[in-house]
Structure 1
């Protein structure tokens, strides 16, 4: 049995029960990603985590959105250049804009939140939010190594996951050994092979693959031994519920319902 680096009780309990299931951007099948409607629809599916992308506004508020700009018929509005009130007033017909504190409160007791850092220098507002709201059921991921390490130093129980860049992929094992406080890696599913999973598990690091929307891909990754999948598909998320690790010789086609019909 793998001895994980993480000491976060919620993460360890969920992983012990099965493959981690993360809803990408909330329920992207129901509403615009990172919106209030998408979050609420995702919570109804009861995933282990809801992945949400985070930026900081000009006045220091953490806003959920994937891109640096919110695009409307009137133009593209840079999140970092505008106060929260102005951004909330923008028309977003695919869903209601939401702040990270609002999302954390909505998800409390129902799902963990995977906070995906989409900008540098988010340490101060993020740690203030987690401390003020007394949030312990969260996982922070992204490519901003300095922010991840600072968060981990301040909150050792907070799981952090590196989203590798090309250099980190090229020296995967070395990177994980050098960054000894990482709990996980969030990796593009096409980069995953058995050697990656073996190298991560040898160091107690979980492998969380994104974004997996088709049963054959999910089956392939489960057979490789990944620890979690992020998906836009309610069918894939539901099929993964409390999914055991595959045994030796398991036919990957049997790991995810719907594979043979794909």
Structure 2
């Protein structure tokens, strides 16, 4: 069972920052999950929300701000004074860090409620520049974005995210116009039968956000492929 750090080791450091990613590496996580947006000037940056107000000292939509404007923001002090001055990272900065590891990398496209036109091509270009096609999964709740990714790069691993309880999600995924690699459901949807059905249809299962090792133990025995967690060390 892979241990995938959710927005880095976000239980211990500001989410989606280099500090959180470096900590996930130090905690021997098997992978990292992060969220990407496009800035006003077309740069790919790492942040979960479309508005920066929760995780910085300012507010405003990422799509309406340039990279230079985002770089002026403090993305760490909201979490703790020791992280003051940390900035929102770019995808290129993260990929340079991750390229020196053997970790599975899950890039989540945040296309809702705002659609980042062209973000798929930029992610694919970065993956190829760092020679990481074999260990990157691109996921999204926007399944149209996944279809566009598949059109541009058929070899890309794609993860289908679900925030609701879809009836027989493996059947839904099987009918999509692209080949999925994995299903990424909320952890509360997952049980032994869910895992069995996904595996029978050829899909891996990476639920989010799993923070209790006691929950994952029995499902690990049932073949759960991985957990996306804020606390990688708890599972290691």
Of the candidates 71, 96, 101, which is equivalent to residue 87 of structure 2?
96
Instruction: Work out the CA distance in 1 between the residues paired with 2:29 and 2:235.
Output: 7
Q: Could you tell me which residue of structure 2 aligns to residue 128 of structure 1? A: 125
Of the candidates 173, 177, 190, which is equivalent to residue 176 of structure 1?
173
C-alpha RMSD of matched pairs (Å): 2.0
1:22-33 correspondence runs (5 A): 22-33=4-15
Q: Specify the SS of the correspondent of 1:198.
A: helix
Instruction: Work out the CA distance in 2 between the residues paired with 1:49 and 1:220.
Output: 21
Instruction: Work out the CA distance in 1 between the residues paired with 2:36 and 2:92.
Output: 11
Q: Could you tell me which residue of structure 2 aligns to residue 186 of structure 1? A: 184
Q: Specify the SS of the correspondent of 1:229.
A: strand
Instruction: Work out the CA distance in 2 between the residues paired with 1:166 and 1:234.
Output: 25
Instruction: Work out the CA distance in 1 between the residues paired with 2:33 and 2:170.
Output: 26
Give the number of equivalent residue pairs. 219
Deviates more, 1:122-131 or 1:189-198: 122-131
Instruction: Work out the CA distance in 2 between the residues paired with 1:25 and 1:113.
Output: 11
User: Larger Cα Rg: Structure 1 or Structure 2?
Assistant: 1
Instruction: Work out the CA distance in 1 between the residues paired with 2:57 and 2:219.
Output: 43
Task: Note the alpha carbon deviations across 1:85-112, whole angstroms, 9 max, x for none.
Answer: 1011112224332111110110113123
Query: For structure 1, which runs of at least 5 residues remain unmatched after alignment?
Result: 1-18, 239-262
Q: Specify the SS of the correspondent of 2:8.
A: coil
Of the candidates 200, 222, 229, which is equivalent to residue 220 of structure 2?
222
Query: For structure 2, which runs of at least 5 residues remain unmatched after alignment?
Result: 78-82
Q: Could you tell me which residue of structure 1 aligns to residue 36 of structure 2? A: 54
- Residues 26 and 38 in structure 1, CA contact (< 8 A), matched pair in contact too: yes
Matched, 1:65 2:47: yes
Of the candidates 35, 42, 61, which is equivalent to residue 17 of structure 2?
35
Inter-CA distance 171–29: structure 2 relative to 1 (3 Å threshold): closer
TM-score (norm 2): 0.85
Inter-CA distance 197–58: structure 2 relative to 1 (3 Å threshold): same
How far the C-alpha of 1:75 sits from its partner, in A, is 4.3
Inter-CA distance 234–124: structure 2 relative to 1 (3 Å threshold): closer
Q: Could you tell me which residue of structure 1 aligns to residue 80 of structure 2? A: none
How far the C-alpha of 1:206 sits from its partner, in A, is 0.3
How far the C-alpha of 1:77 sits from its partner, in A, is 1.6
